[in-house]
Chain A
Amino acid sequence: MKQKIAVQVDDLTVAYNYKPVLWDIDLEIPEGVLMAIVGPNGAGKSTLIKSILGILKPIAGSVTIYGKPYKKQRSLVAYVPQKGSVDWDFPTTALDVVMMGTYGSLGWIKRPRQKEKKASLEALEKVGMLAFKSRQISQLSGGQQQRIFLARALVQDASIYFMDEPFQGVDATTEIAIINILKELRKAGKTVVVVHHDLQTVPEYFDWVTFLNVKKIATGPVKDIFNDNNLTKTYGINYKVSVQE
């Protein structure tokens, strides 16, 4: 049986000031995979996610989510930006940040009510942060902030999750907690796409991988394509990782 395609990227080219950061990317992300996007710094990993989500405008190419443009499928997609992309001194609480995940389904002008609050509290509980709901966000550790971001994505109750380096600057406990939640999402049939830096953990955490360095190098099941050949092609140097069998 052929797997459904959750995200389809065709001939995507993105440039900053006329300098291409992503060049002619064709990518199919099958439904229900837990996929890592790996590549060196400046490879365009975050740019790829942002272009799929319509945050950046590509100069060429198209993206579809379950066969339709992103604009029509917003409710199916949740996004966790890099933790460093926001100001954690912003005057707000953990619960309030999680509630922001409900804004998409509310639309313009409508305010969150009890239903949204309840869903947000449940999401906080899932990531083990319920006790911190009233804590000002600058008073949280890096790992806790990342969990808050994850809870905010969970509350969107999407089909596809995009996460930009969720393991950056978090402690080991949080990393395990996060990956367990991501694996649960996959079990529930969701598609999860993660920009990832730690090559050592790719085989353990993910079942699908995309190698990216301005161009797409390879994409497919980890067990088939996560090898020294592709790593060397992506990172340019002779790259060796010991893959546990």
Chain B
Amino acid sequence: MSNAQLEIQLIASLVAIACAIPGTFLVLRKMAMISDAISHSILPGIVVGFFITQDLNSPLLILLAALTGVITVVLVEYIQKTGLVKEDTAIGLVFPVLFSIGVIMIAKNANDVHLDIDAVLLGELAFAPFDRLLISGIDVGPKSLWVIGVILLITIVLLLAFFKELKLSTFDKGLAASLGFSPVILHYGLMTVSSITTVGSFDAVGAILVVALMIAPAATAYLLTTDLKKMLVLSIIFGVVSAISGYWFAHWLDASISGSITTMLGLLFLIVYLFAPSKGVIAVLYREKQQRIEVSLLTFLLHLKNHDEDNERHVNHLNEHINWQKVRSKTVLDLALRNNMIVIDNKIVSLTPKGDMFTTQAIDYIITNEDTQIEDMKNDFFLFRG
């Protein structure tokens, strides 16, 4: 692996981490589309910044562009507050306008500006190692590595300092306000960090990948955990894994790095979406199937409870009486036997005390919806897990 390759992967990984952190909070605040808006509307900020500084990595340019990002959020909220349009419409109104202003500015000055639309949308990670940072003539690495490194460091320090406040205001704005943690300050703090991260990553990975790196890892992690800290860690891991595997995928295909990284993010999400242990599609389908069987079991047990006559409890008659197919009857019968809820004596089915108790509690729960007595059963039966 050459030095340049290593540097590209390092930049991609740092960008992934820097994006995953604010991205997690954006996803939880249901503001994923805001990152899309920010990533596009910072373009005029970048162009103006570039006119002034002539350097895509200058801190002034980053601040100017980040300011455009925050202005976007303010505009979206202002339009939304009028009550005339909904939030998604407001987003759709604001960012294309700002983005187009940037596009026109680039087009008008195409001859003197080293910026083009392709690079803006998709970035060009492969060129990142060519732009070196020289400190008194010594090469200390690619400029974009330093830029994103510094941004990441600031993000981590802010996250560690204000984790509690961010969590509270994301979960319960009202309580945050009443306890004196201004949700407005936290909101704009998060927006500022998101904007700065977007600008810092933009040069390397472009407007579209920035959005993917903010949203996809967090959305994937959300399917896997019920703990905010773990969600942050998983988002970071997913981001870095996609960044590195995406790089090698692009290397192998000889294709765009940012496109490959985004593809990896999509693939990762798809895999987790299908196979996540409790929220994944397959788990949900399995749970629904089990619930159907359990409802059948309950129906069957209730039938036994309500009937003392032998003919109502004869194995062969059960099919007719509760009108089930053979297969379903057998599944249910086996399940009941396995759980010691019934005994079969001479083809006559009877409830055991355990089966009797279970039926009473389950019916009681379904009627009253009071779940104190079924707490122990929750682990064995999907039916009671809500």
Distance of A152 Cα from B171 Cα, bound (Å): 13
A173:B226 contact, CB within 8 angstroms: no
Asked whether, in the complex, the Cβ of A91 is within 8 Å of the Cβ of B231, the reply is: yes
Binds B, one of A50-58, A119-127, A210-218: A50-58
Given contacts A54-B178, A141-B371, A141-B386, 8 further A-B pairs with CB under 8 A are A53-B177, A92-B171, A93-B226, A100-B171, A112-B164, A139-B385, A171-B369, A173-B370
User: A77 to chain B: which residues have CB within 8 Å?
Assistant: 178
Query: A90 contacts B28, CB within 8 Å?
Result: yes
User: Interface on chain B toward A: helix, strand, loop, or mixed SS?
Assistant: helix
Query: Which A residues are CB-close (under 8 A) to B179?
Result: 74, 103-104
Chain B interfacial positions (CB closer than 8 Å to A): 28, 30, 83, 161-165, 167-168, 170-175, 177-181, 222, 225-228, 230-231, 368-372, 375, 385-386
A91 touches B175 (CB 8 A): no
Identify which of B163, B172, B228 gathers the most chain A CB atoms within 10 Å of its CB. Answer: B172
Our pick among B161, B162, B177, B226 for the contact of A54 (Cβ within 8 Å) is B177
Against B, the Cβ 8 Å flags (1 = close, 0 = not) of A42-62 are 000000001001110000000
Closest to A53 in B: B178
Q: Smallest distance from the beta carbon of A136 to chain B beta carbons, Å?
A: 4
CA distance A136 to B224 in the complex (A): 13
Task: A102 to B134: give the CA distance in the assembly, Å.
Answer: 49
Task: Write 8 A-B pairs (CB below 8 A) sorted by A numbering.
Answer: A54-B178, A55-B174, A79-B178, A136-B226, A138-B226, A144-B371, A171-B368, A171-B369
Partner of A86 from the list B171, B177, B386 (CB cut-off 8 Å) is B171
Interface, chain A (partner B; CB < 8 A): 17, 50, 53-55, 71, 74, 77, 79, 81, 85-87, 90-93, 97, 100, 103-104, 106-112, 131, 136, 138-139, 141, 144, 152, 171-173
How distant is B11 from chain A, measured CB to nearest CB, in Å? 30
Q: Chain A's nearest CB lies how many Å from the CB of B257?
A: 31
Query: Given the complex, which residues of A lie within 8 Å of B222, measured CB to CB?
Result: 91
A132 to chain B, nearest CB (A): 9
The answer to whether B226 and A141 have CB atoms under 8 Å apart is no
Q: B178 touching A92 by the CB < 8 A rule?
A: no
**Residues of B contacting A81 with CB < 8 Å?**
172, 174-175
A residues in contact with B181, CB < 8 Å: 103, 108
Chain A residues with CB under 8 A of B371: 141, 144
With a 10 A CB-CB cut-off, give which of B168, B171, B179, B225 has the most chain A CB atoms: B179
Nearest 7 interchain pairs by C-beta: A104-B179, A136-B226, A81-B174, A53-B178, A79-B178, A55-B177, A86-B172
Name the contact of B180 in the complex, choosing from A74, A87, A139 (C-beta under 8 A): A74
Residues of chain B within 8 A (CB-CB) of A138 are 226
- Distance A190 CA – B222 CA, assembled complex (angstroms): 40
Is the pair B28, A103 in contact by a Cβ cutoff of 8 Å?
A: no
Residues B161 and A109 in contact, CB atoms below 8 Å apart: yes
**A90–B178 CB distance below 8 A:** no
CA distance A90 to B175 in the complex (A): 15
In the complex, the chain B residue whose C-beta lies closest to that of A142 is B369
| Residues in B whose Cβ lies below 8 Å from that of A152 | 175
- The smallest beta-carbon distance between A96 and chain B, in angstroms, is 8
